[in-house]
Amino acid sequence: MSAIGRLLWVVLAAATALFLIAPLLVVVPLSFSSDSFLEFPPPGLSLRWYEALWQSPFWRQAGLNTLIIGAAATAIASVLGTLAAIGLWLAPLPGRRAIFALILSPMIVPVIITAVALTFAFAPLGLAASHWGLILAHAALGAPFVVVTVLATLSGFDRTLLRAAAACGAGPVTAFRRVMLPLILPGVVSGAVFAFATSLDETVVVLFLGGPEQRTLPRQMFAGLKDTIELTILAAATVLIAASTVLLVAARLLAARSARLAGGAAR
Amino acid sequence: MTDPLVRFDRVAKSYDRATLVIPDLSFEVGRGEFLTLLGPSGSGKTTTLMMLAGFEAPDRGRILLEGRDIVGVPAHRRNIGVVFQSYALFPHLTVAQNVAFPLSVRGRPRAEIAERVARALAMVRLEGLGDRRPSQLSGGQQQRVALARALVFEPKLVLMDEPLGALDKQLRAELQAEIRRLHRELGVTIVYVTHDQEEALALSDRIAVFNEGRIRQIGPPQALYDHPRDPFVAGFIGENNRLEGEVVGRDEDGQLAVRLGGGAVVRAEPVDVAPATRRVLLSVRPERIALAHAEAEDLGADALAATVVETVFLGDHVRVRVRLADGGLVTVKRPAYALDARLKPGARVALAWSAEHAIAFAADGTEAARSPLAGHV
């Protein structure tokens, strides 16, 4: 590559990166502003918006709801998604492709459609405006990520290991727990992180399905943006960004560790 | 066989419910025996082993282990050790944890596990490597770990599915010796699958030769080598020359006089050749053929004359390829030190063998025609 080509390549890459993170470059510094206006650059620095965030019962409740719904939905999505992936991988089902497409559909169908459908489906069951309703909805949205990442890990999993475990006297459950799960854990963990991240910033379904009791952080931000433009929202956004970053890094490290333990056999 | 450890009783297996990979299989494995299932790929030997291990279920028939039908017993309750070609070690566990796995699954106390794992690792000469991971070991070492894992819980029966297939020649010989030693010292019964006839000859008490889902012959290595019962076995175990001929006489002790394509008449020992049979297929081992430099005028009418095509020096022996009068090629194996320097390409030679080393199979029927090696030199 010529020097000019290389330069062009660097400039383009930098411009793309800048374009992608520019919003963050505005949001994060503004959340530390000492003023109450959306003014950039901020006239002074302070933690007043974080204090407001922390002290507001609305925001605290929203944070708690986000954590509860996210954690429960992630747990359900991880268990069901892992089982579904193993089932798809193991069984030579005739309708394998159709089932896979069905499981992935929440990823493909516009969220608004899912939200409307869930609202109609959940209302008669008494699941509208309830934590459980949101947990189940977010689990459905997150499970496809788990299925995809676990299936990817399974493609490197040697089936003979299950036979070897059986020949050693391990029943199916023991073989899963002691041989298969440790080896596909990187896939399960990254799937779970994606599922949690999905729940973390999901707004549409919450708007449709959640009642006042189920306000999550994105919902609260949405509401806040409509009512009063308060920089607390930016503080909340920064917290969300930080949480997502920590999650992604943690998932990376965990996956790398598992892969190393597995001797590189289950990438 | 009195009180066999394993008995296959009229077992049939199909993968697609249309074609039977194994139509009707019966055989026994004696206690403490080393039985090798030998055959080309697709002959049903691995399927047989997988049914014994419990990874495949037969469509029909019974598989008895110590007299009990185990067809309905899942693999993990059969208490049979299995060694796989791909080693199939658990990559997330250390060597010691791999070997400990069958014991810990069985809920043995910790102290006992530690002691038996140490003994098993010593048995396969891997002392001191217990803390390594499988990925840090060589192929030969990994297969030793797999052997230790299959033997550590002291199963009566151990199955091995081409365990040396992925190793190079020298390691293979080394591990063959190791497997022989373990079999001798532990008295365990081993059923071994391979497509390598040399390996089968080197290891086994008995060999079952598989082809197209059937056992063509089962017996001790030397019996199979010296007295093959059909052309397939003759061609699969060791090397054999195949000569077509016509029966022209039969003497009182049962030997046949066979006229070959070129007109020479040779004597042969018949195997299942009906009195009415005319066409036969002769099978002669290359090392059983004597060959001498000869001028045309020295040869009698019945002598088997041939022309040397090439001689290949292979260190300990020389392979001489000769062409018969009818155009057929014959391979002769002679010790290198005893080779006549005059046997250059084009030289005239006479071939001879004693009648008991030429085996005649009927070629009238379907047997020879069905053999995949028919027409193959």
User: Under DSSP, is residue B54 helix (H, G, I), strand (E, B) or coil?
Assistant: coil
Q: Which among A158, A167, A266 has CB closest to B75?
A: A167
A243 in helix, strand or coil? helix
- Is the Cβ pair A170, B79 closer than 8 Å? no
Do B107 and B138 form a contact (C-beta atoms < 8 A)? Answer: no
Q: Is A43 on the interface with B (CB under 8 A)?
A: no
Residue A45, beta-bridge partner list: A33
> What's the Rg (C-alpha) of chain A?
22
Query: Among B370, B15, B62, B35, which residue's Cα sits nearest to residue B193?
Result: B35
Closest Cβ–Cβ partner in A164, A175, A182 for B92? A182
**CB-CB under 8 Å, A170 with B105:** yes
Question: Going by DSSP bridges, is the β-strand pair B317-324/B304-313 parallel, antiparallel, or unpaired?
Answer: antiparallel
A180–chain B Cβ distance below 8 A for any pair: no
And the tokens for A95? 């309708």
- Report residue A28's pLDDT band, with 50, 70 and 90 as the boundaries: confident
**Where residue A223 falls among pLDDT bands split at 50, 70, 90?**
confident
Q: Which CATH number fits domain B232-370: 2.40.50.140, 3.30.70.360, 3.40.50.10470, 2.60.40.180?
A: 2.40.50.140
A125 pLDDT more than 70: yes
* Any domain includes A23: no
Span B6-231 CATH architecture: 3-Layer(aba) Sandwich (3.40)
Q: What is the pLDDT along chain B (377 residues), one digit of tens a residue?
A: 568 999 999 999 998 888 899 999 999 999 999 999 999 999 999 999 999 999 999 999 999 999 999 999 999 999 999 999 999 999 999 999 999 999 999 999 999 999 999 999 999 999 999 999 999 999 999 999 999 999 999 999 999 999 998 888 889 999 999 999 999 999 999 999 999 999 999 999 999 999 999 999 999 999 999 999 989 999 899 899 999 999 998 888 889 999 988 888 888 999 888 888 889 999 999 999 988 888 766 666 567 889 999 999 998 899 999 999 888 899 999 998 878 888 889 898 988 888 889 999 998 654 444 444 433 33
Q: How far is A259 from chain B (nearest CA, A)?
A: 9
* ipTM of the shown complex: 0.84
Report yes or no on A1 lying in a domain. Answer: no
pTM, full prediction = 0.83
- Full residue range of the structural domain in which residue A193 is found: 53-261
Predicted pLDDT of residue B374 = 39
Closest chain B C-alpha to A250 CA, distance in angstroms = 20
Mutate to test the interface with A, among B46, B51, B76 (most CBs of A within 10 A): B76
pLDDT of residue B251: 87
pLDDT at A220: 85
CA distance B281 to B273: 10
Calpha distance B318→B312 (Å, rounded): 6
Inspect the interface and report whether the beta carbons of A166 and B149 lie closer than 8 Å.
no
Cα dihedral B154, B156, B162, B166 in deg (nearest 10): 10
Q: Centre a 10 Å sphere on the Cβ of residue B239 and count the other Cβ atoms it contains.
A: 14
A30 vs B60, more confident = B60
**A103, A147 contact by CB (below 8 A):** yes
To the nearest whole angstrom, how far is the Cα of A167 from the nearest Cα of chain B? 6
Q: Please tell me which residue of chain A has the smallest CA distance to B50.
A: A163
Query: Contact, B333 vs B290, CB < 8 A?
Result: no
Look at residue A79 and tell me if it is in a domain. yes
| pLDDT tens track for A47-86 | 888 888 888 888 888 899 999 999 999 999 999 999 999 9
In a domain, A16, yes or no: no
- For the segment A138-155, the average pLDDT, to the nearest whole number, is 94
CATH number for the domain spanning A116: value is 1.10.3720.10
| Cβ-nearest to B135 among A172, A183, A264 | A264
| Distance (Å, whole) CA A99 – CA A90 | 14
Is there a contact between A186 and A153 (Cβ–Cβ < 8 Å)? yes
Question: Tokens standing for B302?
Answer: 């019945």
Kindly report the average pLDDT of chain A as a whole number: 88
Give the phi and the psi of residue B102 in degrees, each rounded to 5.
Answer: -60, -30
A250 pLDDT band, cuts 50/70/90, is confident
Residues from chain A that touch B80, judged by Cβ atoms under 8 A, are: 167
> pLDDT digits over A167-194, tens only?
999 999 999 999 999 999 989 998 999 9
Give me the number of domains chain A comprises.
1
Query: Considering only alpha carbons, which residue of chain B is nearest residue A169?
Result: B76
- Cα separation, A231 vs A29, in Å, equals 11
How many residues does this entry show for chain B?
377
The two three-digit tokens of residue A15, written as one number = 């411009």
Distance to chain A for B119, nearest Cα, Å: 18
Which residue bears the tokens 């080779």? B339
DSSP letter string over B326-338? Answer: TS-EEEEEEEGGG
Report the relative pairing of strands B348-352 and B290-293 from DSSP bridges.
antiparallel
Q: Say whether pLDDT at A264 is over 60.
A: no
Higher pLDDT, B102 or A209: B102
Sign of the alpha-carbon torsion through B110, B112, B114, B116: negative
Closest-CA residue of B relative to A179 is B90
Q: Is residue A185 part of a domain?
A: yes
Q: Sort out which chain B residues have CB atoms less than 8 A from A262's CB and list them.
A: 91-92
What's the pLDDT score for residue B134? 94
Residue B340 per-residue DSSP state: -
Nearest to A168 among B86, B136, B149 (CB): B149
Tell me which chain A residues have a C-beta less than 8 angstroms from the C-beta of B79.
169
Domain spans of chain B? Answer: 6-231, 232-370
State the maximum Cα–Cα separation within chain A, in Å, rounded to a whole number. Answer: 71
Residue B249: what residue type?
G
Dist CA B248 CA A15 (whole Å): 94
Q: Is residue A122 part of a domain?
A: yes
Instruction: Say how far apart CA B79 and CA B159 lie, in whole Å.
Output: 11
CB contact under 8 A, B101 and A171: no
Residue B236 CA to residue A181 CA, distance in Å, equals: 44
Which pLDDT score is estimated for A266?
37
Q: Which residue of B has its CA nearest to A175?
A: B105
Q: Is A37 part of any domain? A: no
| CA distance linking residue B259 with residue B256, whole number of Å | 10
Q: Is residue A251 part of a domain?
A: yes
pLDDT on residue B367: 47
Q: Which residues of B touch A261 (CB under 8 A)?
A: 92
